[in-house]
Amino acid sequence: MKTNKAIVKTMGKPKLMEPAEGDIAELMQGVLERLGENPSREGLVQTPMRAEKALRYLTSGYTADIASIVNNALFDVEYDEMVIVKDIEFFSLCEHHLLPFYGKAHVAYLPGDKVIGLSKLPRLVDVFARRLQVQERLTQEIAQTIQDVLKPKGVGVILEARHFCMMMRGVEKQHSGAVTSAMLGAFRSQKETRDEFLALIRESASRF
């Protein structure tokens, strides 16, 4: 297999350039063989390439461009109350076992001089969810990126997720979940701001 070790930059972090098409499928065929399967049988003939396409999609966040996603959707608006987008569904892959974890993100910010188009917040969540992740880092990356892009007075992010590495293996607890949070600016320094965020999430959950 040919390896291209050219380095590119993504959000300030170096990564290996995306492998050529078919390279991942070739490796997946070897994985199937080592699991005791026959990659040539009817049900598995196309599986290595399907797996490659799925993995490329599920890790597409590595090559995402934040500036293109934001696409100048920053607007001068005189608004100084909290903005919340809640129940943003996300799916990611645990970097420890390459098993999925999924859940909902609740994102809030206190505007400074600008607000961002509401659809951009779920897109930013997807950028970081579509990488090999741990929930704690995912939460922090979403919050820090919103802080860097928007320069608000504060950012709050809460993620609620279920992890297949806990549900399908290990402790095998199907109904346990993990909650993580990242609070920046006023959300960290002002208890009343954090309390308002949590109250608005609970209140809106009862209405919708």
Query: What is the pLDDT tens value at each position of the chain, 208 positions in all?
Result: 343 433 334 444 545 566 678 899 999 999 999 999 999 999 999 999 999 999 999 999 999 999 999 998 999 988 989 999 999 999 999 999 999 999 999 999 999 999 999 999 999 999 999 999 999 999 999 999 999 999 999 999 999 999 988 888 777 677 778 999 999 999 999 999 999 999 999 875 545 4
CA–chain centroid gap for 135, Å, is 9
Q: Return the pLDDT at 203.
A: 74
Among all residues, which ones are annotated catalytic?
94-97, 135, 163, 165
Q: Return the pLDDT at 19.
A: 67
Helices 23-34 and 47-58, packing angle to 10 deg: 120
pTM above 0.75, yes or no: yes
Q: Which of 6, 141, 145, 187 is nearest to 200 (CA)?
A: 187
Domains along the sequence of the chain with CATH = 7-58 (1.10.286), 74-207 (3.30.1130.10)
Rounded Cα distance between 81 and 111, Å, is: 7
Q: How many CA atoms lie within 13 A of 33 on its CB side?
A: 7
Q: What is the CA radius of gyration of the chain?
A: 20
Contact present, 80 and 146 (Cβ < 8 Å): no
